[in-house]
Amino acid sequence: MSDNKWNITLKIHRQKEDQPPYFQEFHLEVDPDEYVLDAVERVWAFMDRTLCFRHACHHSTCGACGMRVNNVEKLTCITPIRAVTQDGGVIKVEPLRNFPVVSDLVVDMSNLYARMEMVGAKAVLPVTQAEIERPPATWPADAEQYLRLTDCIECGLCISACPSAATSPSYLGPAVLAAAQTVGLTAETLPIIDSEDGLWRCHSAFECTAVCPSAVDPARRIMNLRQQVVRQRLSSLLKKS
Amino acid sequence: MGKPHAIIIGAGFTGVATAHDLALRGFDVTVVERGDFCNGTSGRTHGLLHCGGRYAVKDRESAIECIEENMILRKIVPQVIEPNGGLFIALNESDLAYRQAFLEGCEACHIPIEELSPQEALRLEPNINPKLLTAFLVPDGTFDPLRLALAFAATAKKNGAQFFTYTEVNRLILDGKGTVTGVTVTDRRANRTYEIRGDIVVNATGVWAGEIAKMAGAKVPVKPTPGVMVAYDQRLVQRAINRLNEPGDGDIVLPQRRMVVVGTTSFEVEDPDYIPVLEDHVALMLERGAELIPGIRQARVRGKYMASRPLIAAGSGRSAARTFKCFDHKETDNVEGLVTITGGKATTLRAMAEKTADIVCQKLGIQAPCLTREIPLLSYRQYFALS
């Protein structure tokens, strides 16, 4: 941790109800090792009580504080100021794209939650099913019984970053397709996934995987789902002939 | 006569749980919250579903509340819980000297524990300090704070409760005869101010409870007592790891998703609106956390944060009891129509709501039993999926 302080400018997207949006600048002294969310919260606490932003856990487990920071989707509670600007620099903070703006930095992610529910996304999984980068060589014999909160924290960063999501509000989006891949396709979810606004709207831009703060890797999962669906179609064709 | 109308201020743990309880007892419920769900203490809680062992020696009332509520939450809201249990481990002679009191306390509070040899404990959790002297297996868990609150809110919403987030209370409306009859709020999304009238106002604002009560000339003796937590980027254990000793700094390490979270410290502040994360406390978390799990030194810091406990009991810091209290301001300040629920801890949110709803019903002369012990909560996503 550093003893030096930086003077930075937060350039924050402001928007109330039907009024046109604008940017407002706030100048503040920060420790560069603080997180972007800490700076935003201080603007609310000490400079402008009308600022609306969403946040809860402050350590990347809840997914509430996703924003666009200097044009890139970030979970602001774990994004150090040092990583996005320098002393004397500017941090532009905007709400996520491809969701309706509720106010200032807050977006309405109801659709995302509802769609996650629709594909049967699990909130907890056995730890052995968690796909971690360096899994232990052998899990303890009783590991099956341990549960873990899933990786996807429903933060919406992937949907904001996705160029295909920008083309159609009814596109299910990367998080939802990734969840469908994780739980597996069912007779109920297959027609929703294998559709124009499902699997086939993805243009393989891989932006979702680039911005995901939780190592879900939605792009790989979407590609895998496509393989599964194509394989199913082929095998049913072969059965018919 | 129509349904009684309860206005709840705050959509943290106590607010959403009280909304759920009162909706089941037949109330019209309106919840107002100045930010979004859990933006204060609740969201930033450590996330330990306490078994009560931490309090079993010196604060048995809290310990009993914890083990009872732990078992209920596992049943009604398994969707947000990593139910993997916990260990209390002894690393030195001072810890061992605490062993007997811990055993007796857990027995008195009916907390099911099992003593393990160091070898057995290491087989369960290979990453804990191999120099441990003894260990107890306990029914701890970990929960996701925001999703815990949303599950209560979803179920309350299904039962008719209405939630208004980004809606800040400016003042309490008094009728001139010492009765609170509603609230004046500002919708911060639109800078629009309006009144809401109700039969009872529930102040569920945690560390901010004193500020709301003051609007009616009432007092709540709540002391904001923050502590720091540090999240590291490796899931080194599957269970909550506690130090077998009196509650102290940095003596709990929790697994959560791919992380472990070390907590916490304890000091008092006047204004809980913004509390900086103190670097010396962060350094202490590494020091103390690494005593329990040495591998933390090789992990990277993922997040550092601070949450402010609402302590209400006499005493300060660690010596204050962690139980909760519901104040009927008619009795404490001769103000009718206002009750405050504060103190307590995340694990006891349902019990806090039950107690509050009991007092609300008693004040309004309503006979309705509490139903929240048995009813499973809806998926947290239903809060958004329900129109």
Q: How far is the C-alpha of B344 from the C-alpha of B321, rounded, in Å?
A: 9
Residue B147's closest chain A neighbor by CA? A62
CA-CA distances (angstroms) from residue B7 to A38, A97, B353?
Answer: 31, 34, 14
For residues A58 and A117, membership in a common domain is answered with no
Q: How far is the C-alpha of B10 from the C-alpha of B16, rounded, in Å?
A: 8
Q: What is the CA radius of gyration of chain B?
A: 21
Specify the CATH number of the domain B5-41+146-221+322-385.
Answer: 3.50.50.60
- Main-chain dihedrals φ then ψ at residue B196, nearest 5 degrees: -125, 130
Q: Are A110 and A169 in contact (CB under 8 A)?
A: no
Question: Which residues of chain A make contact with B277, given a CB cutoff of 8 A?
Answer: 34, 38
Whether residue B44 and residue A57 make contact (CB cut-off 8 A), yes or no, is yes
| DSSP-based helix, strand, coil % in chain B, nearest 5 | 35, 30, 40
Q: Is the pLDDT of residue A3 over 80?
A: no
Question: Which residues of chain A make contact with B255, given a CB cutoff of 8 A?
Answer: 148
The average pLDDT across B144-164 equals 98
CA-CA distances (angstroms) from residue B186 to A192, B162, B167, B183?
Answer: 41, 16, 5, 10
B260-310 pLDDT, tens digit per residue, is: 999 999 988 888 888 889 999 999 999 999 999 999 999 999 999 999 999
Cβ count within 10 A of residue B187: 18
What is the structure's pLDDT at A139?
Answer: 67
> What's chain A's average pLDDT?
93
Whether residue B43 and residue A38 make contact (CB cut-off 8 A), yes or no, is no
For residues A75 and A169, membership in a common domain is answered with no
% of chain B surpassing 70 pLDDT = 98
B20-78 pLDDT, tens digit per residue, is: 999 999 999 999 999 999 999 999 999 999 999 999 999 999 999 999 999 999 999 99
The three-state secondary structure class of B167 is strand
Tokens of B384: 């958004």
Question: Which residues of chain A make contact with B304, given a CB cutoff of 8 A?
Answer: 35, 59
3-class SS string, A79-134: CEHHHCCCCCCEEEEECCCCCCEEECCEECCHHHHHHHHHCCCCCEEEHHHCCCCC
pTM above 0.90, yes or no: yes
Q: Is the pLDDT of residue A2 over 60?
A: no
Q: Which residues in chain B (7-36) have CB-CB distances under 8 A to chain A?
A: 35-36
Question: Which residues of chain A make contact with B37, given a CB cutoff of 8 A?
Answer: 56
User: B255, B113, B117: which is closest to A143 by C-alpha?
Assistant: B255
The average pLDDT across A183-191 equals 91
For residues A118 and A17, membership in a common domain is answered with no
Q: Which residues in chain B (77-106) have CB-CB distances under 8 A to chain A?
A: 78-84
Whether residue B384 and residue A114 make contact (CB cut-off 8 A), yes or no, is yes
Residues of chain B with CATH 3.50.50.60: 5-41+146-221+322-385
Kindly report the CATH number assigned to the domain that includes residue A90.
3.10.20.30
Question: Which residues of chain A make contact with B305, given a CB cutoff of 8 A?
Answer: 57-59, 77
Kindly report the CATH number assigned to the domain that includes residue A236.
1.10.1060.10
| Domain ranges, residue A100 | 6-107
Q: How far is the C-alpha of A107 from the C-alpha of A89, rounded, in Å?
A: 26
% of chain B surpassing 90 pLDDT = 92
Model confidence band, residue A68 (pLDDT cutoffs 50, 70, 90):
very high
Q: Is the pLDDT of residue B89 over 70?
A: yes
For residues A63 and A93, membership in a common domain is answered with yes
Question: Which residues of chain B make contact with A123, given a CB cutoff of 8 A?
Answer: 79-80, 144, 147, 379-380
Whether residue A61 and residue B381 make contact (CB cut-off 8 A), yes or no, is no
Task: Count the residues in chain B.
Answer: 387
Q: Which of A17, A38, A113 sits opposite B190 (nearest CB)?
A: A17
Q: Is the pLDDT of residue A137 over 80?
A: no
A235 assigned to some structural domain: yes
Q: Is the pLDDT of residue A133 over 60?
A: no
Domain termination site, one of A107, A142, A159:
A107
What is the structure's pLDDT at B321?
Answer: 74
Shortest Cα distance from A235 to chain B (angstroms)? 35
For residues A161 and A102, membership in a common domain is answered with no
Q: Which of B42, B82, B279 sits opposite A148 (nearest CB)?
A: B82
User: B326, B265, B320: which is closest to B62 by C-alpha?
Assistant: B320
When the candidates are 3.30.70.100, 1.20.1070.10, 3.40.309.10, 3.30.9.10, the CATH number that belongs to B48-143+223-311 is 3.30.9.10
What are the helix (H) ranges across chain A? 36-42, 110-118, 157-161, 174-183, 190-193, 207-211, 218-240
Model confidence band, residue B248 (pLDDT cutoffs 50, 70, 90):
very high
Q: Which residues in chain B (222-251) have CB-CB distances under 8 A to chain A?
A: 229, 231, 235, 238
Please state at what angle helix B99-108 crosses helix B60-76, rounded to 10 degrees: 60
What is the structure's pLDDT at A135?
Answer: 62
Burial bucket for residue A231 (CB in 10 Å: 0-12, 13-18, 19+): exposed
Number of domains in chain A: 2
CB within 8 Å of A10: residues ≥ 6 apart? A25, A26, A27, A28, A39, A40, A43, A90, A91, A93
Residues of chain B with CATH 3.30.9.10: 48-143+223-311
Question: Which residues of chain A make contact with B166, given a CB cutoff of 8 A?
Answer: 52, 102-103, 106
What is the structure's pLDDT at B87?
Answer: 98
CA within 13 Å, CB half, A190: 9
Q: Are B78 and B70 in contact (CB under 8 A)?
A: no
Q: What is the DSSP letter of B336?
A: B
For residues A116 and A64, membership in a common domain is answered with no
Q: Is the pLDDT of residue A159 over 90?
A: yes
Going A43 to A45 to A50 to A56, the CA torsion angle's sign is positive
The average pLDDT across A6-32 equals 96
Question: Which residues of chain B make contact with A114, given a CB cutoff of 8 A?
Answer: 381, 384-385
- DSSP lists the bridge partners of residue B169 as B185
What is the structure's pLDDT at A18?
Answer: 83
ipTM higher than threshold 0.85: yes
For residues A116 and A88, membership in a common domain is answered with no
User: B186, B196, B52, B170: which is closest to B113 by C-alpha?
Assistant: B52
For residues A89 and A114, membership in a common domain is answered with no
For residues A77 and A32, membership in a common domain is answered with yes
Q: What is the DSSP letter of B261?
A: E
Q: How far is the C-alpha of A177 from the C-alpha of A116, rounded, in Å?
A: 9
- DSSP lists the bridge partners of residue B41 as none
A201 assigned to some structural domain: yes
Q: Which residues in chain B (106-125) have CB-CB distances under 8 A to chain A?
A: 123-124
Q: Is the pLDDT of residue A141 over 80?
A: no
Whether residue B257 and residue A151 make contact (CB cut-off 8 A), yes or no, is yes
